Structures are given as C-alpha cells and as structure tokens.
C-alpha cells in the first residue's frame, strides 16, 4: 500500500486529502481509500507548505497515528511549466522540487486543475454521471473532457500500452463561432463592448459568459429585466477588481432560469446551453471520442434540468453530414464535484 497526498489548490480554497492506494497486480487496478480530508482558506496562508503541515498534524491527531505521504499531486488553478506554477489568484510560486524537500515527500507533481479533472474521469462510477447520449462506446479510443466554470477547460485522454495519458489544451481560447443571427449579434456586441478584435469561446461558454449573454439580451431588450436581478448585477459591477466578490450573478441568473421565474434569465440560459453544446460538438469532431465525452466544470451539474432539456444535445449533434458520427459519441455530465481531487490522487499513484 502507498500513502498519497492529493490536493486541489484554488485562489479561494485549498482541499487536501490523505489517500491510501492499494495496487491489485493481478487485475492491473488500484483501489483508493480516503483516510482524511479537510479544506482551508487559501488566503489565510502565505504558501502551500504551512497548509500541508497543518493538515498532516490534524490527520495524525484525528486518526491517532503518524502519517508521512510517499507521493503527492496538487491540482493548481494556473499554468504549470516544468513542474512549477505561479498561481493566478494568489501570490504563491510553487516548485515541485522545493515542495519535496520541505514536506519530506519523495515525489511531488503539480498539474493544471483541468488536467486533474481528466485523470479524475478514470476514477468515476456510474453514480457520478448523468448520461445525455448513450452512443456506441469503443475501447482504445480518445476520451474528451470539457468543462465550463470560471473559464472553459478542455482536455483529452489517450489510452495505449496499458496506460492512459491526459493531455491539456487551450481549447477554451479558440474563436467563438456564431451559428445564428442572434449569436452573430452577440459576437458584434462583445467585440464593441470590450473593444477587442476577437472573441474566444470562453467569453460565451463560462460563468462570465452567462453574465455577458444576459447583458447582451438585456441591452437589446429581448425581455424585461427584473429589479432583483438588476440589483445583483449592479452590486457585482461595483465589486469587480476588489479582493472579495460577494455575489455571483451567473449563479443567480442560472437559478432564476431553473425556477422559470425570469424570462430574461430563461433566454440567457437557452442561448448559453446551445453554445455549450455546439462547442462540445466541435471538440468531439476533432477527437472522435468514442471512449466518451465528459462534461465537467462547475456549471453543468448545477443546471442539470436545462442540460437535459434537449438544447445541448441538439447543438452537439447539429454538424451537417457529420451528425451520424457524433450520434455515436457517449456523452456524460460529471456530477461528482471532487473529480479534480480524485484525479490528483490517481496522478500521484502513477508517479
């Protein structure tokens, strides 16, 4: 058995998990058992090391024995280069080699948080998924992962030689491709509003994209704006750039759309879900992921009824004569919010 430390490190919170990994050589599988888990406010610490030290001390006290992880993997919200990373929303600079020395862990890996989601797909069960399209699953074919949250992540998995590799991409920064007159108007609106010369798909398919779509539809008077939603937007706009944002307008808009209590929010999520499905279909066309396309990120599971309404899958499959290929792709929504932490543990076990 191997003792692992898995971490999901974000600008707001850090989640750590102590994991016991048992490799079944005869089956070629690894079983994971969570021993202890806790979360911390990232801003309360000057670095990752004191968080880990506090976590291990708590685990030792809670479980009544001394633990020293052999391997560790931390999923980081930021670009990882040569096993080092400067966090996007924290004044932390992390280096895997320094962490190995300071924590006494023989091997430490730093990976991008969405790459961790890719590894986490391998550890999910049927209960962690909502299937939108059964498709025709095929082994030894690519697996695609897309996830809208704060931004838009995309990665893919390739199987071969008894192993699985996860490859991160910057697919969320490809161009937004309008499919209708309304979406062309949205494109022109965003170009003018932000005084930019291109619009990435992330500006539309993400949490900030929900807000952008809402503002677009509001400004073109597609439906009346409610005073309650208007107040949330005003508060959010005054807090932009501050260290603490107290409201999440994307979540408020999504909730109103789920409750069918606001026509403008309804139209916003309808456009958003369609654009999300179209981009997922674009990713599927490039990879033909008959091993499955998984929808992760923080948004899909929260608006599950809207994702299941048919709008997403119609946009996904609406690819002309290529439709017959995409209808064979299994499509699943990831319901488990700890998929990134699961992925960090899997990656640590493979070190």
Q: Binding-site residues for ATP, please? A: 7-12
Closest among 1, 205, 2 to 106, alpha carbons compared:
2
Q: Which residues contact 120 (CB under 8 A, 6 or more apart)?
A: 296, 336, 338, 339, 340, 341, 342, 343, 344, 346
Q: What is the helix (H) or strand (E) element at residue 156, kind and residue range? A: strand 152-160
**Cβ pair 233, 250 in contact under 8 A:** no
What's the DSSP call for residue 60? H
What are the binding residues?
A: 7-12
**Cβ pair 149, 207 in contact under 8 A:** yes
Task: Record the tokens describing residue 95, joined without a space.
Answer: 């280096």
Q: How far apart are CA 255 and CA 298, in angstroms?
A: 14
Q: How far apart are CA 62 and CA 351, in angstroms?
A: 28
Q: What is the helix (H) or strand (E) element at residue 37, kind and residue range? A: strand 29-41
């Amino acid at each position: 058995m191997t003792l692992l430390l898995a971490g999901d490190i974000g600008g707001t919170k850090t989640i750590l998990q102590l994991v016991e990994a048992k490799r079944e050589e005869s089956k070629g599988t690894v079983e994971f058992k969570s021993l202890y888990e806790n979360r911390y406010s990232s801003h309360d610490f000057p670095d990752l090391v004191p968080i880990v030290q506090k976590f291990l001390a708590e685990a030792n006290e809670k479980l009544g024995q001394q633990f020293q992880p052999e391997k560790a993997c931390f999923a980081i919200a930021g670009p990882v280069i040569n096993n080092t990373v400067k966090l996007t929303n924290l004044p932390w600079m992390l280096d895997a080699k320094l962490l190995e020395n300071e924590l006494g862990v023989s091997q430490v890996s730093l990976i991008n948080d969405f790459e961790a989601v890719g590894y986490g797909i391998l550890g999910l069960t049927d209960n962690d998924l909502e299937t939108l399209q059964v498709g025709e699953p095929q082994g030894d074919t690519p697996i695609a992962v897309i996830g809208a949250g704060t931004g838009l992540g995309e990665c893919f998995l390739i199987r071969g030689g008894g192993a699985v590799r996860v490859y991160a991409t910057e697919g969320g920064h490809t161009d937004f491709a309008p499919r209708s007159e309304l979406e062309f108007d949205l494109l022109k609106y965003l170009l003018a509003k932000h005084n930019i010369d291109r619009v990435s798909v992330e500006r539309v398919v993400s949490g900030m994209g929900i807000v952008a779509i809402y503002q677009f539809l509001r400004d073109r008077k597609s439906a009346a704006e409610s005073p309650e939603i208007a107040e949330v937007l005003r508060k959010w706009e005054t807090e932009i750039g501050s260290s603490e944002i107290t409201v999440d307008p994307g979540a408020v808009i999504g909730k109103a759309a789920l409750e069918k209590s606001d026509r403008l929010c309804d139209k916003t999520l309808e456009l958003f879900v369609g654009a999300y499905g179209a981009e997922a279909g674009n990713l599927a066309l490039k990879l033909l992921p008959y091993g499955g396309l998984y929808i992760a990120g923080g948004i899909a599971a929260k608006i599950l009824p809207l994702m299941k309404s048919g709008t997403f899958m119609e946009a996904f499959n609406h690819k002309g004569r290529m439709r017959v290929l995409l209808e064979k792709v299994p499509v699943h929504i990831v319901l488990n919010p700890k998929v990134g932490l699961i992925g960090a543990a899997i990656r640590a076990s493979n070190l």
